[in-house]
Amino acid sequence: MKLSVPKETKLKENRVSITPDVVKDLVKKGFEVQVESGAGVNSFFADEAYTAAGAQIVSDKNKIYSDADVVLKVNAPSSEEIAKMKKDAILMSFMWAATNPELVDACVKAGISSFSMDAVPRISRAQKMDALSSQANLAGYKAVIMAADTLGKIFPMMTTAAGTIRPSKVVIFGAGVAGLQAIATAKRLGAVVEVSDIRPETKEQVESLGGKFIEVKGDSSVKMEGGYVKGVSDEFLKAQQELVSKHVKEADIVITTALIPGRKAPVLVTEDMVKSMRFGSVIVDMAVEQGGNVVGSELNKTINKNGVTIIGEGNIPSLLPMNASDLYAKNIQTLLYHLADKDKFKWEMEEDITKGSLITHNGSAVHTSLKKA
């Protein structure tokens, strides 16, 4: 089976789907691997490293798609690139299928099967395949570092002969994977950390990391599915905003991480809340690519509103490409080994991981979320 690793073309994308270490293992298992020339350069993996690991370097972008039995990517290819793939070939990448109907249609028309890394179910035996978590972990860390670099003061309390510096206060919305890593990082740097999450069961995790939990009483509108928040009412969000507004007003840094798969990100920080913050405060909107948690945040821009800096970086894991690529490569490798051997895919259609991550197959959209739509 021939695996192809194209160079990522999305704006500001520095990651690569497969690293030389993973190539070495794939070749040992009997797979043939071809890598587009320069695919790993932005992640600091040279073509020579891939060649030494047993991969073939290909400079022809058309060939990297047309020759492949399986295309392995971080971001999904364009419709034009998908059209170059041979019928019955297989794509494995992030797809966000519920909000990308054109991508799904392109896969159906090309007659290819596709597996989405963001659709891998959150079950214990799929943890090593969970690319959402591996990337969110890094993003949570980096978000705090970005905020610290922008803030005009230090995080920890410091006593000097000239006086005592009070610790910075960080407010984090969301105690998922990214939020928990942000809590841990901010605490290690010496900040006072307060956390809001609509799931009361996260309180214990927040407190175990040294954060203070801002408790909002849940209601029946909060819908959970597979470890994700699938829905919440506008009334609940309003109640949450009212409770946390005073904490935001006193914060030096606010980091928002709330996402609802397949839907626009919920608004958590209103324009009035931004206006209430101290001059020189910093906000990092980690949900900006899905519409943003913060009113006024702009995708891939850092802006200043009323003296408050709002960072809207849309692809934070890409700012740590060595680690992000290494973890993602192991995620996709583990999923590939689960689905196939060197000769063929197993197509165990009722198996949980296969069923959960398979988007298109045999000329049809097969994922349950797309059938519902």
Catalogue the active-site residues: 122, 127, 130, 133, 228
Backbone angles phi, psi at 180, to 5 degrees: -65, -40
Q: Bridge partners of 223?
A: 231
Q: Bridge partners of 360?
A: 114, 365
Cα–Cα distance between 12 and 16 in angstroms, integer?
A: 12
C-alpha angle 177/179/182, rounded to 5°?
Answer: 110
354-359, long-range: CB < 8 A, 24+ apart: 356/119, 356/120, 356/121, 356/126, 357/115, 357/116, 357/117, 357/119, 357/120, 357/121, 358/113, 358/114, 358/115, 359/95, 359/97, 359/104, 359/107, 359/114, 359/115, 359/116, 359/119
Q: Bridge partners of 35?
A: 5, 57
